Structure 1
Amino acid sequence: MKIAIMTQPLGQNYGGIMQAWALQQVLKNAGHDPVTIDRQSDAKSAAYYAARFGYRTAQKLLGKRKLPINYEKLLPYIFQHTQKFIAENIKMSERIDSTKKLKSHFDAENYDAVIVGSDQTWRPIYSPNINNYFLDFLENRKIKRLAYASSFGVDSWEFTNEQTKICAELAKKFDCISVRENSGVDLCKTYLDVEATQVLDPTMLIKREDYEKLCNTSINEKKGIYTYILDNSDWKDKVVRTVEEKLKLSRYKNQSETDYSKLTKYNLENFVFPKVEDWITGFAQSSLVITDSFHGTVFAIMFNKPFISLINNSRGASRFYSLLSSTDLEDRLISNYDEQMIDSLLNHPQNKFNIEINEKDIYKQSKSFLNRALKHI
């Protein structure tokens, strides 16, 4: 069956790329033909760009802007490796930057079903158009509508009253809905008046061996403490330094500079995202992982590594609690610097990590949900 996938724009986030890749792998393994819709932010008018250029130029002259005026022109170079991975490994639609183009695409393609999921697809502040992710463009078209591991990202309601009204009506047209966080089940019931099932992120439905095939060097080489920190802070750095001292291991990372206020044409190379394969290999080669990323935590688990997960409130803490409670690893999550807690985590029996995700009830529930949904396409 031909299946469209609606997810957030890909390319600027490793976790987003890997969940899109993983869901396609699951669908391909089930004999389907998945296509991820390349829904980008709505196109802007020439007048908008002219006004933006003028404003930024004025800010630059006043010394109030550190970023290059048209830094967006540098983004294709910065994301060259992630975009290459997408082009070679994920089947994508053409670029779509409006609801009108989205409707035209579905008019031209004969999809049997559309799946919404998963990486914060139902979080309005991250969405190019939140109504599109509730499939408003399908109108009364007869097509199977599914949500797999769709995520609100947080445990509070961020929709406006108008968005809530529209999306609640659209949600009732779905054939079945699953969400990634247990808090999402309550949000669906309370605000959308629909039932939802909690399932795992698509990245956790793939076997570790499949990820090892993407690694570009020997995974037997151990390098030390692998860090993947999205939002730097003093307390997080102090955690890493403390672990380095206690374990007598050095840190390493596969991560670019992300403070674009420091970006110039002379240091552009520092901002280029490393290859997706390098990012994954880092988990495989590590002795221990320290991360404030949801998918960083996922890959530490998938590669069976001891890890410390640093809570990241700005990006949605409920995702971390839900993931780690469902895998019986919630004690690996910390929200501030606490040396006593760090000692406890480092002294934790290693057999805790000899877990197989496919033995967990949440894994079986996730596979069962997807299998049942796909059988009826």
Structure 2
Amino acid sequence: MEIGIITWHYFNNVGSNLQAYAMQKIIKNLGHNPTFINYKYKIYKDPFLKKIIKEFCIIIDKIFPNLINERMKFGAYRFQKEEMQKTEEIYDKKKLEEIALKFDAIVCGSDQIWAPNVFDEVYMLSFVSEKTRKIAYAPSIGLNEIPKNLVEKYEKYIGRLDRVSTREDNGVKLLKEYCGIEAEQVLDPTLLIEKTEWLELVKNENTFKEKYIFIYLLGEKKWVREWIQKFAKNIKMKIILLSSFNDDRKYADVHYKVMGPRKFIKLVSEAQYILTDSFHGTIFSILFQKQFYVFDRFDSKEKLCQNSRIISLLKILELENRRIGSNDEVKLIDKKIEYENINNKLEKEREKSLKFLSESLN
């Protein structure tokens, strides 16, 4: 069948790229032909000259991968061009209705496309006709509540989908409590792909020759930096850091402000330890069976707190002790993660999630 996917597939964020790639690959593995519905906001439309320059730099990056600086974001652009099958670019919501008619089914997800603070009914498949099958696979609401002024819209648009799932248990709870909608909890699509398949994707990436701690931070909490520096002082390894904040370069041996998806996977796969406040940083730590800790990026009382998806994942795999809050003492991985039981739990959740998606499409 021809399957359309709509999600955040065009940002340079590592997690967005990898969840989109995984969603496409899983649907392809199930025997269908997936295509991204290339819907973007107009602010992301490249002028003609910029588009030409970008295409040229992608070609140069492919031939001479170490020539173009990572800060120029071409790792993400090249990855999208090489790995994602997309429709033409769409900036008009009316055009979406025409595109939707080309597909037998359309999937929205994954990522935080249902977050109330970035509400857009397009990501709830408002443009898809009643005749076309509509599936939500692992989108996140992300926040701790659905605002009153949006409840009716969530109920209206999500209520017309044929099958509904979310990434976290809190999403299941919110949809039931606010909208009366039954949803299933499923894994993020990146967790449905085996470690060997991810490694095949990065087989041509360079290896960092020394042992290192890989750190991936999205937030800017001061206590997190203090915790990391105490940890690193005791472990005594090189620090490779991915963070958009310039001040972080002070304690890193290698600092990246931006990184392509392939390099990210390679660095995670070969790290000795991983420290992160990222959901996908946590996911890939688990996939590659790393010793890791994950920091609370948000205070629980923050209005835009997005901790629920990480908390939910750690709960499923019984890894709650890897979560670090602002009052937690520095730990030195004195109790290592035993991955045999974790892998067994993960495999059961994989089977359940794949069953949901397969049955939904068929």
What's the TM-score bracket when you normalise by the shorter of the two chains? 0.7 to 0.9
* 1:314-344 residue CA offsets vs partner (Å, 9 max, x unmatched): 56010110011111111100121532xx33x
Partner of 1:169: 156
* 1:256-308 residue CA offsets vs partner (Å, 9 max, x unmatched): 64569xxxxxxxxx987332211111101100000010000001001100001
Q: Is residue 21 of structure 2 the alignment partner of residue 21 of structure 1? A: yes
| Bigger CA radius of gyration | 1
Partner of 2:11: 11
Query: Structure 2: how far apart are the matches of 1:330 and 1:272?
Result: 29
* 1:141-160 residue CA offsets vs partner (Å, 9 max, x unmatched): 40111011111112222x45
What is the one-letter code of the residue matched to 1:196? A
The equivalences for 1:38-187 within 5 A come to 38-42=38-42, 78-107=72-101, 110-127=102-119, 130-138=120-128, 140-157=129-146, 159-161=147-149, 163-187=150-174
Partner of 1:291: 276
Q: Is the 8 A contact 1:327 1:360 kept in 2?
A: no
Q: What is the CA distance between 1:351 and its match in structure 2?
A: 2.5
Q: Structure 1: which 5+ residue stretches go unaligned?
A: 45-75, 261-269
The equivalences for 1:206-245 within 5 A come to 206-215=193-202, 216-217=204-205, 223-245=211-233
- Judged with a 3 Å threshold, the aligned counterparts in structure 2 of structure 1 residues 359 and 232 are, in CA distance, closer, same or farther, namely closer
What is the one-letter code of the residue matched to 2:142? G
- Judged with a 3 Å threshold, the aligned counterparts in structure 2 of structure 1 residues 358 and 218 are, in CA distance, closer, same or farther, namely farther
Q: What is the CA distance between 1:19 and its match in structure 2?
A: 0.5
Query: Structure 2: how far apart are the matches of 1:360 and 1:80?
Result: 34
TM-score normalised to the size of structure 1? 0.79
Among 171, 180, 191, the alignment partner of 2:178 is 191
Q: Secondary structure at the match of 1:149?
A: coil
Query: Structure 2: how far apart are the matches of 1:218 and 1:40?
Result: 33
What is the one-letter code of the residue matched to 1:6? I
Query: Structure 1: how far apart are the matches of 2:347 and 2:26?
Result: 18
Identical aligned residues as a percent: 31
TM-score normalised to the size of structure 2? 0.82
Q: Secondary structure at the match of 2:41?
A: coil
Count of matched residue positions in the alignment of Structure 1 and Structure 2: 325
What is the one-letter code of the residue matched to 1:281? K
Q: Is the 8 A contact 1:28 1:34 kept in 2?
A: yes
Query: Structure 2: how far apart are the matches of 1:285 and 1:192?
Result: 44
Q: Secondary structure at the match of 1:213?
A: helix
Query: Structure 1: how far apart are the matches of 2:246 and 2:38?
Result: 26
- List structure 1 runs of 4+ shifted beyond 6 angstroms: none
Query: Structure 2: how far apart are the matches of 1:218 and 1:327?
Result: 31
Q: What is the CA distance between 1:79 and its match in structure 2?
A: 2.7
Query: Structure 1: how far apart are the matches of 2:143 and 2:347?
Result: 24
Q: What is the CA distance between 1:92 and its match in structure 2?
A: 1.5
Q: Secondary structure at the match of 2:127?
A: helix
Q: Is residue 265 of structure 2 the alignment partner of residue 280 of structure 1? A: yes
Query: Structure 2: how far apart are the matches of 1:355 and 1:218?
Result: 29
What is the one-letter code of the residue matched to 1:322? S
* 1:92-148 residue CA offsets vs partner (Å, 9 max, x unmatched): 2222223122223224xx200000111011113235xx211111112x440111011
Q: Is residue 285 of structure 2 the alignment partner of residue 300 of structure 1? A: yes
- Judged with a 3 Å threshold, the aligned counterparts in structure 2 of structure 1 residues 298 and 222 are, in CA distance, closer, same or farther, namely farther
Query: Structure 2: how far apart are the matches of 1:176 and 1:10?
Result: 25
Q: Structure 2: which 5+ residue stretches go unaligned?
A: 45-69, 248-254, 299-303
